[in-house]
Structure 1
């Protein structure tokens, strides 16, 4: 049996085929770039129809190459927090708001939860522009004819499958789910102003879907395949990194970045205490993931590479290696603003300590190191809820592409052991392991057995392959 894993990211949509142990098959990968529209007013949107077209092209490419033979299971990981309004026919009434969109704000005079601390503990979220409790009223005020709301993955799968309920993992990213009861939270739904039928149906445990007949004719190799409930991309990345218990935290850097830790907390079980500055979502009905996320990641390099005339390849490696750790610029890397619970708007990045001798490489290194320090601070908070310091596994396309950045993370996170998972498709791999019900095996199948030690963090200098951390998103 083979597994088709789909990764519905922010910068690209990808499909790859894995074997029964979630190992990628050589050459069985199709990818399409997607256009993320980012504007100065804080918008970060995607076109749903264009996104669906990109996914179908990936499936066509894999089918034409014969890679979809023997696929019996389809696993999906997808970006959390996205939302789009739909009309009665299920067609989009506007673009998809992604996690990067900072425009939504509470209406004038609106009030938040009666007990913010209790609300945060129940939902793992805050009354914040990233979540549907603020996003839905904001969208409704600007859209006519709204019948219901969906996330990007629910819209996409709704076009392909016989049914597309929302998984508890994706629902937890809306900020409207009671993480213990695994049902919509009444107070959160009231804050969102939702009416009956406007929220997606929640998928029961062990739900599976099938392709609609028209699509089964287009991709007959998938006609009998079961589609598993989608997994939030951050949770999937932890599983794919082998970080599935409190001994090991994942630091993932793709387009954006996050630090996260997984604990086994089955439905109806009391939730562990949640630090005030951290969020918590669901991996599935059995596990929760707790952590912090950042709007900056590989997009820092993409911006610097576009604007600062950086050297390329080995020349960039050499320039980074020559930098003194004591001479790095002081940089606030919040170019895209803050993720929850922060409210810093997009355009809040800062540079300090510039001189006439400062170079584009200095600025790049400051940006990359600034993110390392933010992660280190939040990891210390994350560790406060577990028994002992954790091991760290670095993953995601951005840190895989930059040996210097991995060494900078090792320095910032010392004295914790820091390992690197070199495989880029950790999100898709993790989603497959969740779909197989093999989360406990992930530390063996996808974790320490496939990680490698980076150089000791004696400095933030390093050498290695070309430092081009503008790789596919793996939040």
Structure 2
């Protein structure tokens, strides 16, 4: 049986993992990806570095697995979503650094057109917010000399990171994306499953700039034979949170997962129904296989693991992420210290791009351990914000499947169960984002004959049940809500 290879291109790292058909890792290679912050609220990446890192990671993973191109049934690509790249079709060079999903430079545009948010949501399931790709594309077309004319002439191409990688890996032969990534641009109509002309006009985005939208499992082309030791078919693409939903086998309506990486993203499968949120959650494509779309509700938190990075890199309170669990357990509680990590604004359910981070409740007794524990607990409180919104919009889950780099920390996993007051389950494979992309490629390659066959491969590694009294959890969460109100640009809205 041939193996599957996933390229997982994230906000802070790029990696490739080779899996066998049972979902077990055979080899992996990962490199960190630096971000640049040219102005407050601006976040950028070097798209050429992302390309080079992806190629290096594939080579490294194949070497670690002791396999060659001929042994791979298909590549699945999963990626940080919403991050926008525009490049020249002839030279292959980006016209501007990639504008990252966290970037808030278009906040004024969104505020100016706030009256169009409901109109946009009806078509896309999204909000009018700098988070999504459309305003980033519009900004580049306005601020890069000659870009608009070149775009209208068909000389330029836009892509989210999946599309950029697909184009570069195929030697510029394929300009395409999948439905899950398209659904995060604010240019894609969820009902028609196509680019929306009215949205394109509103944002000033020429259709000639856009990639073809395909299913999440499809024949996307093959890698340039010179890159590896032969061509490898690319057979799956999913945005990172949709890939994690597939990797967690959340295939039935009502199943819910939450991924903890740079940010935190909770996804609730709503089946074939496009559910509109009443609580500022997003409606999105969960996945599209065989032309059949499955929808989801999603809550997005901008800063989760990024708070730990901040502790390490900006304020130097820890040397590595692994230090956080011991520090958090060294004290009984934070003694009223709350850290609100609104470094790039607040995501769901607040959607306040002007909010900024703060630490509250410091006393003479407060130390590094209190701040570190408050940073970890902030992730749990933000997750409760999302869960509360989902309960009001759709259903009340009894179990939450978790994944991502943060949840290898048992303190975080148990704190989630305590603060949410629901059972939390960690899978045997926490790299569910990469695994979901591999599963999509495997579906297309015939390694799996159905989603049911994938579901049977999923297994739990640990269960965490609430050990904190519900009244205590409610009191802690009330303190969090007070802290959040104090950082909001327009409290109470």
What TM-score, normalized to structure 2?
0.83
Matches within 5 A, 1:63-74: 63-65=62-64, 66-68=66-68, 69-74=70-75
Partner of 2:259: 252
State the shift of 1:74 in Å: 0.9
Partner of 2:436: 430
Partner of 2:282: 279
Greater CA drift, 228-237 or 419-428: 419-428
User: Does residue 426 of structure 2 align to residue 420 of structure 1?
Assistant: yes
Matches within 5 A, 1:138-157: 138-146=139-147, 147=151, 148=156, 149-157=158-166
CA contact (8 A) 1:130 1:340 kept: no
Aligned partner of 2:338 among 330, 335, 342: 330
Cα gap change, 1:122/1:369 in structure 2, threshold over 3 Å: closer, same or farther?
same
CA contact (8 A) 1:177 1:184 kept: yes
State the shift of 1:387 in Å: 4.4
State the shift of 1:433 in Å: 2.0
CA contact (8 A) 2:254 2:269 kept: no
Cα gap change, 1:383/1:343 in structure 2, threshold over 3 Å: closer, same or farther?
closer
CA contact (8 A) 2:45 2:99 kept: yes
State the shift of 1:122 in Å: 2.5
Partner of 2:48: 49
Q: How far apart, in 2, do the equivalents of 1:88 and 1:431 lie?
A: 27
CA contact (8 A) 2:274 2:283 kept: no
Partner of 1:77: 78
The alignment of Structure 1 onto Structure 2 pairs a total of residues equal to 446
Matches within 5 A, 1:40-439: 40-65=39-64, 66-68=66-68, 69-89=70-90, 90-107=92-109, 111=113, 114=116, 116-146=117-147, 147=151, 148=156, 149-161=158-170, 162-203=173-214, 207-211=218-222, 215-221=224-230, 223=231, 225-265=232-272, 271-285=274-288, 286-306=293-313, 307-310=315-318, 317-325=325-333, 327-339=335-347, 342-345=350-353, 348-400=356-408, 402-414=409-421, 416-437=422-443, 438-439=450-451
- What SS class does the counterpart of residue 5 from structure 2 fall into? strand
CA contact (8 A) 2:380 2:415 kept: yes
Q: How far apart, in 2, do the equivalents of 1:427 and 1:356 lie?
A: 42
Q: Where do 5+ consecutive residues of structure 2 fail to align?
A: 444-449, 474-493
Which has the bigger relative contact order, CA under 8 A and spacing at least 6? 1
Q: How far apart, in 2, do the equivalents of 1:136 and 1:73 lie?
A: 31
State the shift of 1:77 in Å: 0.7
Q: How far apart, in 2, do the equivalents of 1:108 and 1:309 lie?
A: 36
Q: How far apart, in 2, do the equivalents of 1:456 and 1:108 lie?
A: 40
Partner of 1:451: 461
Q: How far apart, in 2, do the equivalents of 1:352 and 1:110 lie?
A: 32
What TM-score, normalized to structure 1?
0.86
Partner of 2:3: 2
CA contact (8 A) 1:87 1:145 kept: no
Greater CA drift, 55-64 or 349-358: 55-64
State the shift of 1:337 in Å: 1.8
Q: How far apart, in 1, do the equivalents of 2:364 and 2:333 lie?
A: 19
Give a deviation string over 1:28-87, Cα, whole Å, max 9, x none: 111121111134521111101111111111222234453234211111111110112223
Q: How far apart, in 1, do the equivalents of 2:42 and 2:234 lie?
A: 32
Partner of 1:473: none
Cα gap change, 1:372/1:281 in structure 2, threshold over 3 Å: closer, same or farther?
same
Q: How far apart, in 1, do the equivalents of 2:219 and 2:122 lie?
A: 30
- What SS class does the counterpart of residue 52 from structure 1 fall into? helix
Greater CA drift, 344-353 or 105-114: 105-114
- What SS class does the counterpart of residue 430 from structure 2 fall into? coil
Q: Where do 5+ consecutive residues of structure 1 fail to align?
A: 462-475
Give a deviation string over 1:105-142, Cα, whole Å, max 9, x none: 3549964565x435313211122212233222222221
CA contact (8 A) 1:128 1:340 kept: no
Cα gap change, 1:120/1:321 in structure 2, threshold over 3 Å: closer, same or farther?
same
Q: How far apart, in 1, do the equivalents of 2:427 and 2:129 lie?
A: 33
Q: How far apart, in 2, do the equivalents of 1:150 and 1:411 lie?
A: 40
- What SS class does the counterpart of residue 309 from structure 2 fall into? helix
Matches within 5 A, 1:24-35: 24-25=25-26, 28-35=27-34
Q: How far apart, in 1, do the equivalents of 2:109 and 2:320 lie?
A: 47
Give a deviation string over 1:240-269, Cα, whole Å, max 9, x none: 12333334321211121111112322xxxx
CA contact (8 A) 2:240 2:433 kept: yes
Q: How far apart, in 2, do the equivalents of 1:80 and 1:274 lie?
A: 20
Q: How far apart, in 1, do the equivalents of 2:244 and 2:125 lie?
A: 19
Cα gap change, 1:387/1:125 in structure 2, threshold over 3 Å: closer, same or farther?
closer
Q: How far apart, in 1, do the equivalents of 2:131 and 2:100 lie?
A: 9
